[in-house]
């Protein structure tokens, strides 16, 4: 399952949060996520202290655990999402069942 995670640093936590993130090695970043999550892409709005990541996991619990690693610094929204092919397949299956 794919998830879209959006985040926003808490008021006054922008510099502390980015300082922590900037110091992470790629290995530490992967360990922070855990082995059950594949990161597809991540984008940062540095000036506003917010961003988005698309990831894939078979475990909502693993994704929630990742979010908890950062909840003292930022607010997180996690939403399951479908790609174009998955969306079209779902739409086609609904048409045939109607």
Q: What pLDDT is recorded for position 96?
A: 79
pTM over 0.85: yes
Element (H, E) at 39: strand 37-45
Nearest Cα residue to 55 out of 38, 31, 42? 38
**Cα 78 from Cα 65, distance rounded (Å):** 11
pLDDT tens per residue, range 26-74: 999 999 999 999 999 999 999 999 999 999 999 999 999 999 999 999 9
Task: State percent of the chain over pLDDT 70.
Answer: 99
Flag the least confident range among 11-15, 84-88, 91-95. 91-95
């Amino acid at each position: 399952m794919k998830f879209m995670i959006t985040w926003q640093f808490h008021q006054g936590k922008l510099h502390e949060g980015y300082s922590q993130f900037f110091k992470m090695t790629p290995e530490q970043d992967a360990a922070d996520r855990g082995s059950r999550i594949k990161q597809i892409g991540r984008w940062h709005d540095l000036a506003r202290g917010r961003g988005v990541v698309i990831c894939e996991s078979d475990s909502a619990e693993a994704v929630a655990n990742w979010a908890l690693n950062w909840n003292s610094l930022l607010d997180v929204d996690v939403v399951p999402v479908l790609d174009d092919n998955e969306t079209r397949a779902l739409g086609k299956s609904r048409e045939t069942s109607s």
